[in-house]
């Protein structure tokens, strides 16, 4: 079964970004449950930015699960990446992600590496950057495996990174790893920019696809752009996808309505 999920950001510095709910974790979870979501995806400011006991009680009260935790605050707040020039910065990036993995593991949830992959340029050529990224993913993927969950790696569009932009790039990267505990996060917004055919790319990703960001072509909630979700739904069923569709979308026109629109699209294309 493909399950529904909605994003919650706890990082004020990215207010206005592509997260449906903001700031108030408890209120967001209760609203998500009210609308029928199965899970939440949380974007915390740091590994210490979520109190595990309070979240555990909140999940018990609402019946929700946590699908994943994002690591992007490591880039937004501290400018840390796994492919940085400085050895110390790369070590700090790895420790930040390791901390998120440890937080997520308490909830049998995955950690997501997207913006913290970094980029090449200047003092770092592409081969070196990818080598550093590969080394980190091998280490962090094995660490996530201690919790029985995969590490999620997200290809991003060309305006956000020049390392891994397509599902094909992502599959190639995973194939170069010694760990087998890293899966791809297929973000439909990034794919709309980089893929010739989104559904075909999902089919080619196959079992490598471990998480999906459910969003329309313009990064608004599903149904507010020009994405065709019929072939996308067919492709996910064809590859036997059994994970989450997580709404990492702009809170358009407001958080509650964005969540409602997402749930309407989810039920139309995936719940039947």
CA distance linking residue 142 with residue 213, whole number of Å: 24
**Catalytic: 248?**
yes
Angle 126-145/87-105 helices, nearest 10 degrees? 30
Catalytic residue among 41, 194, 195, 248: 248
Q: Which ranges constitute the DSSP H helices of the chain?
A: 25-35, 52-62, 73-78, 87-105, 126-145, 167-175, 188-194, 198-205, 229-238, 255-269
Catalytic residue among 41, 154, 194, 195: 154
CA distance linking residue 59 with residue 55, whole number of Å: 6
**Catalytic: 142?**
no
Give the DSSP letter of residue 184: E
CB 226 within 8 A of CB 216: yes
> Residue 102 forms beta bridges with which residues?
none
Active-site residue set: 154, 248
């Amino acid at each position: 079964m493909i399950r529904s999920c909605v994003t919650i950001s706890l990082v004020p510095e990215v207010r206005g970004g592509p997260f449906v709910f903001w700031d108030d974790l408890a209120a967001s979870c209760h609203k998500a449950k009210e609308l029928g979501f199965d899970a939440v995806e949380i974007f915390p400011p740091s590994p210490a930015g979520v109190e595990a006991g309070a979240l555990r009680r909140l999940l018990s009260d609402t019946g929700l699960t946590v699908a994943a935790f994002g690591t992007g605050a490591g880039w937004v707040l501290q400018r840390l990446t796994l492919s940085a020039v400085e050895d110390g910065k790369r070590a700090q990036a790895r420790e930040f992600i390791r901390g998120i993995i440890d937080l997520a593991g308490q909830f049998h949830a995955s950690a997501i590496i997207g913006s913290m992959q970094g980029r090449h340029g200047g003092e770092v050529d592409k081969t070196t950057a990818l080598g550093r990224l590969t080394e980190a993913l091998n280490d962090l993927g094995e660490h996530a495996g201690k919790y029985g969950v995969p590490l999620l790696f997200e290809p991003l569009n060309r305006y956000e990174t020049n390392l891994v932009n397509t599902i094909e790039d992502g599959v190639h990267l995973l194939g170069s790893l010694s760990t087998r505990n890293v899966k791809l996060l297929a973000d439909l917004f990034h794919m709309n920019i980089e893929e010739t055919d989104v559904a075909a790319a999902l089919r080619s990703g196959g079992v490598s696809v471990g998480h999906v960001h459910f969003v329309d072509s313009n990064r608004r909630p599903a149904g507010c752009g020009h994405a065709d979700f019929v072939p996308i739904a067919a492709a996910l069923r064809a590859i036997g996808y059994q994970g989450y569709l997580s709404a990492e979308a702009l809170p358009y026109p407001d958080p509650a309505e964005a969540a409602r629109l997402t749930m309407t699209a989810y039920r139309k294309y995936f719940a039947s």
